[in-house]
Amino acid sequence: MSELNTLTIAEARDKLRGGEISSVELTEACLKATDEASALNAVVHSTAEIARAQAEAADARIKAGDAPSLCGIPLGIKDLFCTKGVESQAASGILEGFKPEYESTVTTQLFEAGAVMTGKLNMDEFAMGSSNETSVYGDAVNPWRLGDTKLTPGGSSGGSASAVAADLCLGATGTDTGGSIRQPAAFAGITGIKPTYGRVSRWGIIAFASSLDQAGPMTKSVRDAAIMLEAMCGHDPKDSTSADLAVPDFEAMLTGDIKGKVIGIPKEYHMEGMPEDIENLWAEGRAMLQDAGAELRDITLPHTKYALPAYYVVAPAEASSNLARYDGVRYGHRAKLAQGDGITEMYEKTRAEGFGDEVKRRVMVGTYVLSAGFYDAYYNRARRVRALIKKDFEDVFNAGVDAILTPATPSAAFPLGTKFDDPVQMYLNDVFTVTVNLAGLPGIAVPAGLDSDGLPLGLQLIGKPWEEGELLNVAQALESRAGFVAKPEKWW
């Protein structure tokens, strides 16, 4: 039998329930793989002790016949989630040493479902980035390489993507504000779903842009995503934007039957200068869904090109408000003060030292677009454009489209240290994913092939609000036809 840490969640669940393996064995395999993978810098705080205790408890539950789907399954948790008594820093220096006194709703639900936490995972600082290079912990590294060149695992959930692709855990939590689950999933050859805004509680997740942030699972298969998503979803009175809707059995909705489903192909997603490999992959994806019995339909989402500019007003504006809380008073870092420094100097020095460059840049851009005289010109205009972007999708769904197929990213994973001339170049990574956040829709990235360099590429499916079950079903139809089984060769 191959190494236990290479199992999917569904496989491990069945073996655990059948008594073939124990959670303790499975957890030890993941902890060992993690120890050997320091070169990936995916796990930034090991929680081996907690994991071992949780694994023993899970084995006892399974023996007692109480084994929910995630019982005994080792998962990695993005550093953005507050975990009680465990460092939760959002990969920022300003939260150095912060150990929450409480547990986020998502991790609480995962633990109630029996999950085992093997460690906290690397990410871009405050989830602001597309390459995991803004982290205070240093870059996370993609297990996929280009010759000897180290590649980014994407961002912001880069540690999650790297950890799952390298089999350090069976699944991981991610969060997605503009593409931070789907882009890294595509770069690392794994599956990642961002559910409908409001599906998953944001309580205890360190906030970036509250009207866009949504957590979701990053896994090795669509079935695993269905299993893990179900455990993460549900109404939470502590998050006023959390939807009071029943959570369906997503796994049971994976029937494989998508006959007659209408799949929209948006013409605006044909980008100038897009690599041929990605155009080809998209064409192959269309053929696969057609082969599965779906009907393809050309559609138009006319405001697509304005999504990124709208995002780069709305997201920094919300970030500047959310990050105002880091003042050196209640938690985290406080700068050493000089003789005579008052409270303003304390704020200014603390924030200058604690935040990295990209976070400072976005906080200040947000401050500017919200400042007197510019609020209407920037912020309100962006919110109006956002309403139009959402309407584009509504029109298409109202016309009978069930899901939309697009590329997940405009390129494969790029080398770490790629210097972009200006910050906007990095922002273009999210060109296909950011529309989905602005409209609050569910979106999933599915690995669908390799490019000419042998690097994984993903396709994105976008679904109707609250229809994650149907979306996962279409995704599985795509997954089974793509037959993506490639794994990175172990070099770390």
By C-beta, is 160 or 214 nearer to another protein? 214
Q: Exactly one of 88, 135, 156, 201 is catalytic; which is it? A: 156
By C-beta, is 126 or 355 nearer to another protein? 355
- Residue from 64, 259, 273, 344 touching another protein (CB under 8 A): that is 344
By C-beta, is 33 or 313 nearer to another protein? 313
- Residue from 378, 397, 414, 432 touching another protein (CB under 8 A): that is 378
CB of 7 to another protein, least distance (A): 36
CB of 130 to another protein, least distance (A): 15
- Residue from 305, 399, 417, 490 touching another protein (CB under 8 A): that is 305
Let me know if 180 is a catalytic residue. Answer: yes
CB of 161 to another protein, least distance (A): 25
Q: Which residues of 236-247 are buried (b: 16+ CB within 10 A; e: fewer)?
A: beebeebbeeeb
Let me know if 220 is a catalytic residue. Answer: no
- Residue from 120, 223, 261, 386 touching another protein (CB under 8 A): that is 386
Q: Exactly one of 23, 130, 180, 201 is catalytic; which is it? A: 180
Within 313-342, which residues bind another protein (CB under 8 A)? 313, 320, 324, 327-334, 337, 341-342
Is residue 208 part of the contact set for another protein (CB under 8 A)?
A: no
Within 452-491, which residues bind another protein (CB under 8 A)? 465
In sequence order, the β-bridge partners of residue 307 are: none
- Residue from 252, 283, 287, 364 touching another protein (CB under 8 A): that is 364
By C-beta, is 252 or 343 nearer to another protein? 343
Within 404-463, which residues bind another protein (CB under 8 A)? 422-424, 427, 439-440
By C-beta, is 199 or 223 nearer to another protein? 199
Contacts of 380 (CB under 8 A, 6+ apart): none
- Residue from 61, 99, 286, 481 touching another protein (CB under 8 A): that is 99
- Residue from 306, 410, 426, 480 touching another protein (CB under 8 A): that is 306
Contact of 28 with 38, CB cutoff 8 Å: no
By C-beta, is 245 or 252 nearer to another protein? 245
CB of 309 to another protein, least distance (A): 4
Residue 215 token pair: 């957590």
- Residue from 46, 211, 280, 480 touching another protein (CB under 8 A): that is 211
Compute CA distances 431 → 249, 305, 307, 389, 409, whole Å.
31, 8, 8, 13, 7
CB of 125 to another protein, least distance (A): 14
CB of 384 to another protein, least distance (A): 4
CB of 176 to another protein, least distance (A): 14
What is the C-alpha to C-alpha distance for residues 207 and 202, in angstroms, rounded to an integer? 8
By C-beta, is 144 or 466 nearer to another protein? 466
Contact of 154 with 173, CB cutoff 8 Å: no
Please state the length of the chain.
492
Per-residue binding letters, 223-242, with another protein (x by CB under 8 A): --------------x--xx-
Nearest to 128 by CA among 372, 492, 426, 388: 426
Per-residue binding letters, 6-35, with another protein (x by CB under 8 A): ------------------------------
- Residue from 86, 365, 413, 448 touching another protein (CB under 8 A): that is 365
Structure-token match 């008052």, residue found: 342
Let me know if 194 is a catalytic residue. Answer: no
Q: Exactly one of 22, 69, 78, 150 is catalytic; which is it? A: 78
What is the C-alpha to C-alpha distance for residues 331 and 98, in angstroms, rounded to an integer? 7
- Residue from 1, 19, 49, 101 touching another protein (CB under 8 A): that is 101
By C-beta, is 283 or 352 nearer to another protein? 352
- Residue from 68, 81, 89, 98 touching another protein (CB under 8 A): that is 98
Contacts of 228 (CB under 8 A, 6+ apart): 9, 70, 75, 110, 171, 217, 219
- Residue from 33, 243, 254, 289 touching another protein (CB under 8 A): that is 243
By C-beta, is 136 or 413 nearer to another protein? 136
Identify residue 178 by its one-letter amino acid code.
G
Residue 406 token pair: 């697009």
Nearest to 200 by CA among 233, 167, 224: 233
The catalytic residues are 78, 156, 180
